[in-house]
Chain A
Amino acid sequence: MADSEVIYETDALIAEDIDAYLEQHQHKSLLRFITCGSVDDGKSTLIGRLLYDSKMIFEDQLASLEADSKQVGTQGQDIDFALLVDGLAAEREQGITIDVAYRFFATEKRKFIVADTPGHEQYTRNMVTGASTADLAVILIDARKGVLTQTRRHSYLCHLLGIRNIVLAVNKMDLVDYDKAAFDDIVSDYRDFAAEIGIEDFLAVPVSGLKGDNIIAKSDATPWYDGPALLDHLEMVGLDFDRRRKQPFRMAVQWVNRPNLDFRGFSGLIASGRIAPGDAVRVLPSGKTSTVARIVTMPALGAAEGDGDLDHAIAGQSVTITLADEIDCSRGDVIAAADAPPEVADQFEATIVWMADEPMLPGRPYAMKIGTNNLRATITDEKYQVNVNTMEKTPGKELGLNGIAVCNISTDKPVPFTSYDDNPDLGGFILIDRITNATVAAGMIHFALRRSQNIHWQAIDVTREAHAEQKNQKAKLLWFTGLSGSGKSTIANLVEKKLHALGKHSFLLDGDNVRHGLNRDLGFTDADRVENIRRVGEVAKLMTDAGLIVLTAFISPFRAERQMVRQMLPESEFIEVFVDTPLEVAEQRDVKGLYKKARAGELKNFTGIDSPYELPENAEITVNTVEMTAEEAAEYIVEQMFNGS
């Protein structure tokens, strides 16, 4: 077994000269890495071994580990290191890791944070999460099994997340008698695959997590191996921050610090580069320039105000800077080196990793967080999906849990960014479901789409207000929503007649009619329903721009899409009219005979039967068609329209 003399020296230093030890510890750098592999590959055992050999396990933990090992361990009477690492009760019962867990250990040179993530395909999102903050990935292979589908998946995901340092740990070498040929075969297989997906370089180490070979120190069992032990490599490998430090200065503004009228500081975490007082900077997206006046930090206890100021700061530091000029700058803006500003765009190509059970739907608006910007974004086009096991590209319209796709994405306002490859802090984003607030996707920007740079909004002299004024009315969109057969079209029709009689200029967009023309290419899947509503919303918006009172009658079953249309329009122009008819009543009426067909299974994705209807939560007007006739409902709606505003 490998001798852990490195650790022994540290112990001696602690006992003999604690100040020297503290001095040493204080200057350690930090390496974050991820371990990828399945339970079977001995991943937890390897991490447990690193913790154990670097003395991160206390005696009481060890006592409980020994007891647990005998009781539920898989190593007979020996210590089962995997038990050190398995956290949540549910996981212990199942014997697998189901989330991302973070572990800590330190050597003389570095402190390490290990992201431990499960390896199965259904946990892709967990692996992506762990990989997002890692400088290095340790990919485990069972020496008896060689490069497997999961090895490819793990490698692809690490590469996708931009990890530049890959270590191939060929584990369980003890079970193949430390055979050089077995090791070489695996490395050769892996090299072919790595080249295919663009991994330029990797280090392969023959190890045994169980026996400790080549983990802390070189093992006598593999005299033919001339590379470093795993831990040596982890201590020596270059950090991503070294790369970022050499890039141009960029910092997303998190918070404007304004304690009084004389001080205005911009706080943020420096994403790349270096900054010093006097440096010329540019604020994006406005493009305004200034120079850095101060880099302000809190002075030490008892020191004077200003004593904490830094003469420079580098990537990775959280700072507050002040500028020489009073220019507009707020949260979401990026302060950058004046001569090398990042791009600003509102349409991108990006890789999306989907992390929610509910599938991604092109056209549906999601909340997006990129840097310190909170925006609204829609996926406009799914170019292709990537099969994480075979790297095959296939066309698709939706994207399910753990799916990966290259998509075009469009945001509601221009945002400063870099490619993810350049800088994850300014090129990585998350998408959030606007109803549940769950994080549903991670995204990595490739580049801005040229059309977003070249198509500018054409300013028109006759404004939407002027259009409406000429018609002596205010533009409105009356959005009727409700089950099929609830009476939407009938009531909308009656309302329009009344408006017409009142001399109002209006237009009724009916669901069935639109599907004969504009939307005839769309079916009734969730994705098509979203696109159907998006198009109708855009058309309705153009008509309100023309000053019309627009009425639409669509089932529009999803809250998210109704919300999307609401947000296309100025506040108070969108009036949601909920035609409230219980399913039993609508089904009983069954004017078009559709419920019957749906119940018989002849009609798929029918709202209320096998596709959900999400009830409106804040409809401006609700009419109950059980209690009111269609005529009464129409009368009530017109009344509300003109009383309300």
Chain B
Amino acid sequence: MTAEAGLTPERLTHLERLEAEAIHIMREVVAEAENPVMMYSVGKDSAVMLHLAKMAFYPSPPPFPLLHVDTTWKFQAMYALREKAAKDAGMELIVHRNPEAVEKGINPFDHGSLHTDLWKTEGLKQALTAHGFDAAFGGARRDEEKARAKERVFSFRTENHGWDPKNQRPELWSLYNARKNKGESVRVFPISNWTELDIWQYIHLNNIEIVPLYFSAPRPTVEREGMILMVDDERFRFEDGEEPVERSIRFRTLGCYPLTGAVESEAATLPQIIQEMLLTTTSEREGRAIDHDQAASMEKKKREGYF
């Protein structure tokens, strides 16, 4: 079979179309929302989002702040990149930590799913309400999980930040309805149509800076219940008989370090990471503990306001 009739410079590649779509979406939000914000989790998807935002508004800096809903349990390397990335982009960085979770010392070792509920779900709602943000960019993708495959690009939230999957606004062409009543808000997902491969390839093509933890290196680890955990700081709690073991590992997703499983890997460059990802046999969210509880857990969390 012959190749598709000539890919010339006069035809856009799929990445160019995805890039154009994401930029279009970001500009619509800035044009129509009163007080937008970009959720920034320091992960690879956030890195792409930030890059797209810089492109969308160049030569102006992106006309909104970055918001990091912190749990205090992220990897140290994430905190380091967070500060640098915001500074490089010329954007204000807002860090929110749920005061209730701070006070109660909520942590992933003792509190299980309460850790996510309080730091992330509640923390996010608090931050959005406190700053009066009426539009929040998120880096969720439709290929990540079944419930996300149906979410709109402009996802409307009630005053309590709830999502009603049965009552979503129809979204046609590239026309986004950003209208809302006072107190209501929209979550906006400009990279909805990107896949994990697209993200990696885009990072590769554009030399986008990402947290070094995505690249393989020898790191102190503990293996527990089939997950390899990294001993990232002195707060790590060893169980009886556990000793940190140095392994060559990297992370496919980044979250709170005691909840994020690493994979043993030698992939130290982007092409190697992509190669490993394509040949691997487990999907991206497998490394995160959050999804394992029940089949429809993500949908449930989203209804409650989790990003």
Contacts and interface: CB of A to CB of B under 8 A. Distances in A.
A428 B173 contact: yes
A217 to B, nearest CB: 10
A424 B173 contact: yes
Contact of A317 (B3, B16, B175, B299): B16
Interface string A111-140: 101000000000001101100110000000
A364 to B, nearest CB: 16
Given A26-B15, A297-B55, A425 B174 contact: yes
Size category of the binding interface on chain A: 35 or more
A133 B171 CA distance: 10
A314 interface: yes
A87 B181 CA distance: 29
Q: Quick one: which of B1, B174, B286 has the most chain A CB within 10 A? A: B174
A442 interface: yes
Contacts of B274: 18, 22
Contact of A320 (B58, B165, B168, B299): B58
A60 B283 contact: yes
13 contacts: A26-B205, A29-B4, A29-B11, A30-B18, A60-B281, A104-B143, A126-B170, A236-B4, A258-B60, A297-B55, A308-B58, A317-B16, A428-B175
Interface stretch (B23-31, B103-111, B230-238): B23-31
A145 B175 CA distance: 37
B24 A254 contact: yes
A129 B283 CA distance: 29
Contact of A318 (B20, B149, B280): B20
A133 to B, nearest CB: 6
Interface of A: 11, 14-15, 18-19, 21-22, 25-30, 58-61, 64, 86-90, 92, 98-104, 106, 109-111, 113, 125-126, 128-129, 132-133, 232, 235-236, 239, 241-242, 245, 254-255, 257-259, 263, 265, 267-269, 274, 296-298, 300-301, 305, 308, 314, 316-318, 320, 331, 355, 367, 369-370, 372, 374, 424-425, 428-430, 432, 437-439, 442
B170 A111 contact: no
Given A18-B274, A103-B149, A255-B31, 16 more contacts: A18-B271, A30-B18, A58-B286, A88-B147, A88-B299, A103-B143, A109-B4, A236-B4, A263-B59, A269-B174, A296-B58, A298-B54, A318-B24, A318-B27, A439-B172, A439-B177
Pick the most buried of A22, A265, A355, A372: most chain B CB atoms within 10 A of its CB: A22
Contacts of B55: 297-298
Contacts of A28: 13-14
Contacts of B278: 14, 21
Contact of A242 (B11, B201, B281): B11
Q: Which 5 A-B pairs have the closest CB atoms?
A: A59-B281, A30-B14, A318-B23, A58-B283, A89-B296
Contacts of B192: 102
A87 B59 contact: no
Contacts of A430: 170, 172, 175, 177
A99 B165 contact: yes
Contacts of B180: 437
A39 to B, nearest CB: 16
B112 to A, nearest CB: 22
Interface in B131-153: 142-143, 146-147, 149-150
Given A60-B286, A104-B142, A442-B172, A269 B24 contact: yes
B87 interface: no
Interface string B254-287: 0000000000000000011011001111110010
A437 B177 contact: yes
B197 interface: yes
A369 B179 CA distance: 11
B197 A106 contact: yes
Contact of B58 (A88, A239, A297): A297
Contacts of A317: 12, 16, 20
B166 interface: yes
A296 B59 contact: yes
A128 B27 contact: no
A425 B58 contact: no
Contacts of B59: 257, 259, 263, 265, 296, 298, 305
Contact of B282 (A59, A133, A265): A59
Interface string B190-205: 0011010110010011
A129 B176 CA distance: 12
Nearest to B193: A113
Contact of B179 (A21, A59, A125, A432): A432
B239 interface: no
B171 A437 contact: no
Nearest to A356: B170
A132 B179 contact: no
A13 B17 CA distance: 25
Contacts of A355: 170
B172 A15 contact: no
Given A100-B150, A314-B12, A132 B172 contact: yes
Given A27-B7, A29-B4, A320-B58, A129 B181 contact: no
Nearest to B192: A102
Contacts of A316: 12, 16-17, 20
Nearest to B2: A236
B173 A99 contact: no
A19 B274 CA distance: 10
B201 A22 contact: yes
A369 B175 contact: yes
Given A15-B279, A25-B201, A111 B14 contact: yes
B278 to A, nearest CB: 5
A254 B275 contact: no
B10 A245 contact: yes
A583 B181 CA distance: 29
Contacts of A133: 172-174
Given A88-B150, A242-B11, A254-B28, A129 B171 contact: yes
B19 interface: yes
A72 B294 CA distance: 16
A429 B175 contact: yes
Contact of B170 (A314, A372, A442): A442
Contacts of B201: 22, 25-26
Residue of B21, B168, B175, B278 with most partner-chain A CB within 10 A: B175
A361 to B, nearest CB: 19
A437 B283 CA distance: 37
B164 to A, nearest CB: 11
A99 B150 contact: yes
Contact of B11 (A25, A241, A268, A370): A241
- Which of B16, B150, B197, B274 gathers most chain A CB within 10 Å? B150
Contact of A125 (B1, B11, B170, B204): B170
B128 interface: no
A14 B23 contact: no
B279 A298 contact: no
Contacts of B228: none
A438 B179 CA distance: 8
Contacts of B48: none
A296 B21 CA distance: 17
Contact of A87 (B3, B30, B147, B173): B147
A310 to B, nearest CB: 11
Contacts of B175: 369-370, 428-430
Nearest to B171: A129
A241 B296 CA distance: 38
Nearest to B148: A87
Given A87-B150, A88-B299, A267 B4 contact: no
A367 B177 CA distance: 10
